[in-house]
Amino acid sequence: MTTLYGTSQSRAARSLWALEELGVKYTHVATAIGSGSRAPEFLKINPNGHVPALEDGGEIFWESMAINLYLAEKYGKAPFWPASVAERGHAYQWSFWAMTETEPHLLTLLGHKLFLPKEQRSDKAIADATNALKAPLGVLDAHLKGRAYLLGNDFTIADLNVASVLGLANFVQLDLAGTPAANAWLGTCLARPANQKASGMK
């Protein structure tokens, strides 16, 4: 039995996308951020009080990227879950890159553009985060020039994981015109039916 916990209005969307992409049969429990994720019964599933969490075959996993890499390895086949150790190394590389080099800045933009109370929002924080994203987005753009996807010709778990983080750029209206290869790749990834279905869930 496979159960994914977390509303699609959270990082759970990336694991819902992976489950849909892989065609896994699962139950979705749309645990809310905060009220649901901090409830005592949910803390038994993820003591961090965060979504997503995955229950699969009696095991519990948390951390969205770990969940997605686990799902891809368990249920995927090549090319989505790459065949070679080197390609899988690149999938890990890009997944951790997205989380460490881009996600914190995107979350700053999310807070200061949309979620923080107006009096706590800071134009400087927005400018600093926008500026900090230029270097990693430049790296991504340069890598994608002449390639359809991160690992070559095929959509893989690396693309899903990175696009699921960078999808926040659209949400916070970050202008990606200066990185056209990354922008076009992101549009192609996010348009996939599995992502459209996942992001429309509860």
Ligand X SMILES: N[C@@H](CCC(=O)N[C@@H](CS)C(=O)NCC(=O)O)C(=O)O
DSSP letter for 60, please.
Answer: E
What is the closest distance, in whole angstroms, from the C-beta atom of residue 127 to ligand X in the complex?
24
Under the binding rule (CB under 6 A), the answer on residue 112 touching ligand X is no
Q: Interaction with ligand X in 43-72: which residues (CB under 6 A)?
A: 49-52, 63-64
Query: Which residue, chain included where needed, has tokens 């996807």?
Result: 149
CB 121 within 8 A of CB 113: yes
How many Cβ atoms from other residues are within 10 Å of residue 196's Cβ?
A: 12
Closest residue by Cα to residue 142 from 195, 184, 179: 179
Residues counted in the chain: 202
Sheet containing strand 27-29, strands side by side: 27-29, 2-5, 53-56, 59-62
Under the binding rule (CB under 6 A), the answer on residue 164 touching ligand X is no
Question: Which one among 8, 10, 179, 195 touches ligand X, defined by CB under 6 A?
Answer: 10
Q: Per-residue string for binding with ligand X, 16-45, x by CB under 6 A?
A: -----------------xx--xx-------
DSSP letter for 154, please.
Answer: S
**How many residues bind to ligand X according to rule CB under 6 A?**
12
What is the closest distance, in whole angstroms, from the C-beta atom of residue 147 to ligand X in the complex?
26
What is the closest distance, in whole angstroms, from the C-beta atom of residue 187 to ligand X in the complex?
23
Residues that bind ligand X (CB under 6 A): 10-11, 33-34, 37-38, 49-52, 63-64
